Structure 1
Amino acid sequence: MHISAYAFCGMATVLATANGALTRVNNFGANPSNLQMNINVPTKLSDRPAIILALHSCGGTGEAYAQSTKYNALSEQKGFITIFPSTKNDNNCWEVNTAKGLSREAGGDNQGLANMIKYTLRTYNADASKVFVTGTSSGCMMTNVLMATYPDLIAAASCYSGVPASCLAGSPGASPSTADPRCANGQIIKTQQQWVAQAKAMYPGYSGAYPRMMTWHGTADRFVNYPNLGEQLKLWSGLHDVAFTRNVSDTPQRGYTQMVYGSGSKVVGFSAQGVGHTVPVHEVEDLKWFGL
Structure 2
Amino acid sequence: MPSISTVTITLLAALSSVGNAALSRVTDFGSNPTKLEMNIWVPSKLATKPAIILALHTCGGTGEAYSSMTKYGTSADQKGFIVIFPTTKKDSNCWEVNTTKGLSREAGGDNQGLANMIKYTIQKYDADASKVFVTGASSGCMMTNVMMATYPDLFAAASCYSGVAAGCLAGSPGASPGSADPTCANGKVIKSAEEWTRTAKAMYPGYNGTYPRLATWHGVADNLVFYPNFGEQLKQWSGLLGVSFTRNETNKPQSGYTKMIYGDGTKLVGYSAAGVGHIVPVHPTDDLAWFGL
Contact 2:174–2:181 (Cα < 8 Å) also in 1: no
Provide the C-alpha distance between the structure 2 equivalents of 1:18 and 1:232, rounded to a whole number of angstroms.
Answer: 34
1:114 is paired with a residue of what secondary structure? Answer: helix
Superposed, 1:1-292 pairs within 5 Å as 1=1, 3-4=3-4, 18-171=19-172, 174-177=173-176, 178-292=179-293
Cα deviation digits, residues 98-131 of structure 1 (max 9, x gap): 0000000000000000000000000000000000
Structure 1's 142 and 255: CA in aligned 2 closer, same or farther, altered over 3 A? Answer: same
Equivalent in the alignment of 2:12: none
Give the drift of 1:175: 1.5
Give the drift of 1:3: 4.6
Q: Could you list the runs of 5+ residues in structure 1 that have no partner in the other structure?
A: 9-16
2:214 is paired with a residue of what secondary structure? Answer: strand
Letter in 2 for 1:187: K
Provide the C-alpha distance between the structure 2 equivalents of 1:167 and 1:144, rounded to a whole number of angstroms.
Answer: 10
Cα deviation digits, residues 11-45 of structure 1 (max 9, x gap): xxxxxx94211000011000000000000100110
Provide the C-alpha distance between the structure 2 equivalents of 1:187 and 1:270, rounded to a whole number of angstroms.
Answer: 21
Identity between Structure 1 and Structure 2 (%):
69
Give the drift of 1:274: 0.5
Provide the C-alpha distance between the structure 1 equivalents of 2:233 and 2:198, rounded to a whole number of angstroms.
Answer: 14
Letter in 2 for 1:157: A
Contact 2:2–2:224 (Cα < 8 Å) also in 1: no
1:246 is paired with a residue of what secondary structure? Answer: strand
Letter in 2 for 1:34: K
2:246 is paired with a residue of what secondary structure? Answer: strand
Give the drift of 1:180: 1.2
Instruction: Calculate the aligned-residue CA RMSD, in Å.
Output: 1.3
Letter in 1 for 2:60: G
Provide the C-alpha distance between the structure 2 equivalents of 1:147 and 1:117, rounded to a whole number of angstroms.
Answer: 13
Give the drift of 1:70: 1.5
1:23 is paired with a residue of what secondary structure? Answer: strand
1:66 is paired with a residue of what secondary structure? Answer: helix
2:92 is paired with a residue of what secondary structure? Answer: helix
Provide the C-alpha distance between the structure 2 equivalents of 1:218 and 1:81, rounded to a whole number of angstroms.
Answer: 29
Provide the C-alpha distance between the structure 2 equivalents of 1:92 and 1:170, rounded to a whole number of angstroms.
Answer: 18
Provide the C-alpha distance between the structure 1 equivalents of 2:205 and 2:218, rounded to a whole number of angstroms.
Answer: 29
Q: Could you list the runs of 5+ residues in structure 2 that have no partner in the other structure?
A: 10-17
Provide the C-alpha distance between the structure 1 equivalents of 2:3 and 2:187, rounded to a whole number of angstroms.
Answer: 17
Contact 2:42–2:81 (Cα < 8 Å) also in 1: yes
1:254 is paired with a residue of what secondary structure? Answer: coil
Letter in 1 for 2:120: Y
Q: Output the TM-score relative to the length of structure 1.
A: 0.94
Equivalent in the alignment of 1:14: none
Alignment size in residue pairs: 281
Provide the C-alpha distance between the structure 1 equivalents of 2:128 and 2:86, rounded to a whole number of angstroms.
Answer: 20
Q: Output the TM-score relative to the length of structure 2.
A: 0.94
Contact 2:46–2:81 (Cα < 8 Å) also in 1: yes
Structure 1 consecutive aligned stretches of length 4 or more whose deviation exceeds 6 Å: none
Letter in 2 for 1:226: Y
Provide the C-alpha distance between the structure 1 equivalents of 2:37 and 2:152, rounded to a whole number of angstroms.
Answer: 22
1:162 is paired with a residue of what secondary structure? Answer: coil
Provide the C-alpha distance between the structure 2 equivalents of 1:207 and 1:286, rounded to a whole number of angstroms.
Answer: 27
Cα deviation digits, residues 243-292 of structure 1 (max 9, x gap): 10000000000000000000000000000000000000000000000000
Letter in 2 for 1:119: Y
Give the drift of 1:2: 5.8
Letter in 2 for 1:287: L
Give the drift of 1:4: 2.5
1:127 is paired with a residue of what secondary structure? Answer: coil
Provide the C-alpha distance between the structure 1 equivalents of 2:69 and 2:81, rounded to a whole number of angstroms.
Answer: 18
